[in-house]
Each structure stands twice: as structure tokens, then as C-alpha cells.
Amino acid sequence: MISNKKILDCPVATTINLIGNKWKLLIIRDLISGTKRFGELRKSLSGISQRVLTENLRALETDNLITRKVYAEVPPRVEYSLNKTGQSLKPIIYSMADWGTKYKNGEL
């Protein structure tokens, strides 16, 4: 039996804990191309509710993967972007996209 400590010490488990749900991965995927506003993210992620998007954005910010910038305007404008730590996930996302394409095309 594997102890919880060993699971928490596992680097794969650490990564999964940070980005291991569908919405977080898709948010990161969308932010790879650049800064996005909340509405842009919501449109690109069909099926996500406002509450779930907000929760995932907060979690990604808390985990230091994205940056949230609030502009003092009326109406308020908020933009999200990958920070340096979030940018380091690009190779992982690109590898997942490559593998998914090959799988869908029957190349594996």
C-alpha cells in the first residue's frame, strides 16, 4: 500500500494536483496564446459555468500559474495571463496536444 506522503512527494502527483482537471488544462491552453479577459475565456470554454471558471482561475492564481490584472476602469476590466511558472507548462500542453492528435489519427 502506498502512503499519502509518498503520493504527495511524487512529482507526477504534484503536477496533477495543480493542473489535473479538464478546465484548468483548457484555461492554460487558451492562455498560451496570450492574455485573455474573463468573457473571452468563458466563450472559448463551451460548457463551463461562470462559477466554475471563477473557481479555477482563482485556484490557478493561488497556485502561482497565472496572473490576474485588474484595471481601475468603469466597468472594471480584468485580464488573465500565464506568468513565468505557467509559461513553463507549455511543453507539457504541447506534448499532450501532439499525443492527442496522433491518438485521434490512429497513429499510435
Give the strand order in the sheet containing 36-37.
36-37, 77-82, 66-71
Q: How far apart are CA 18 and CA 33, in angstroms?
A: 20
What are the helix and strand counts (H, E) for the chain? 7, 3
Of the pLDDT bands very low, low, confident and very high (cuts 50, 70, 90), residue 106 is very high
Burial class (CB in 10 A: 0-12, 13-18, 19+), 79: middle
> Cβ distance 30 to 41 under 8 Å?
yes
What pTM was computed for the model? 0.86
> Cβ distance 46 to 37 under 8 Å?
no
Query: What is the three-class DSSP state of 79?
Result: strand
* Dihedral (CA of 32, 16, 83, 49) sign: positive
- pLDDT tens-digit series, residues 60-98: 999 999 999 999 988 889 999 999 999 999 999 999 999
